[in-house]
Amino acid sequence: MLEFGYQQWPFAAPPLREKVYQSRPWYAVPQLVQPGNDRTFVPFAPSWEDDILHSEHNANIVVSLMERLRDFHKMKKLSNYMIKTVVLTELAEGDLDWDQSLDIIFVAVWEKLIQHLNNGKLGRFLSPQYNLFVDMSAVDVEKYYYTANKILQQIKKLQGVEEVTFDNVNNIFFNW
């Protein structure tokens, strides 16, 4: 892994406050991303990504909830970084009002995850040309798509319930 300053960033300016990315490094992680080219890398800037996630209080909560649902439903190949990328992309695009109630935000972001699974593509946050699903089998992507959809339907049912009980929520996490 090689460390660089912002001046050597090889792509368009990231969706961050300028002072953040100019004062913190990014890293080039050697990785074979193009067959036949052993001089390729994946850019990685964890401090930049953390700054975006911390810009909205609900973002970290959504990441945690998504990770817990993934764990409870045994979607092991859906990494923390994949989940974080879905949230980061939503934050950067700015289409979602992060001041809404948490259930509305969560459903909107979970629906984006489902879209990515349906398309079989989730680009890395700072370099979207690299598909994070590339190491997952098509069978796993499809299985996770159907599982995520089933979870979404259960959550949407709860949104229409006047009084949500512990058992209602518990069923989403444990009983299928």
| Span 21-44, pLDDT tens digits | 677 888 888 876 556 656 678 888
61 with 82, same domain: the answer is yes
Residue 19, C-beta contacts closer than 8 angstroms, at least 6 positions apart: none
Supply the pTM of this predicted model: 0.84
What is the Cα–Cα distance from 85 to 124, expressed in whole angstroms? 7
pLDDT in tens, 140-157: 999 999 999 998 988 887
Q: Per mean pLDDT, which range of 4-8, 12-16, 90-94 is the poorest? A: 12-16
Average pLDDT across the chain, whole number = 84
- Compute the CA torsion angle 55, 57, 63, 68 (nearest 10 deg): 160
Query: Over the range 53-70, which residues count as b (16 or more CB within 10 Å of their CB) and which as e?
Result: beebebbeebbebbbebb
Give the range of the structural domain holding residue 115, as residue numbers without chain letter.
Answer: 56-176
* H-state helical runs in the chain: 18-23, 46-53, 57-72, 80-93, 102-119, 138-159, 166-173
Contact between 96 and 141 under an 8 Å Cβ cutoff? The reply is no
4 with 62, same domain: the answer is no
* pLDDT band at residue 8 under the 50/70/90 scheme: confident
Looking at residue 122, its pLDDT comes to 96
31 with 110, same domain: the answer is no
- Mean pLDDT computed over 87-114: 91
Q: Of all residues in the chain, what percent carry a pLDDT higher than 70?
A: 82
Looking at residue 11, its pLDDT comes to 77
- Mean pLDDT computed over 69-80: 93
48 with 60, same domain: the answer is no
Contact between 9 and 25 under an 8 Å Cβ cutoff? The reply is no
84 with 132, same domain: the answer is yes
65 with 145, same domain: the answer is yes
Which residue has tokens 């990785």? Answer: 31
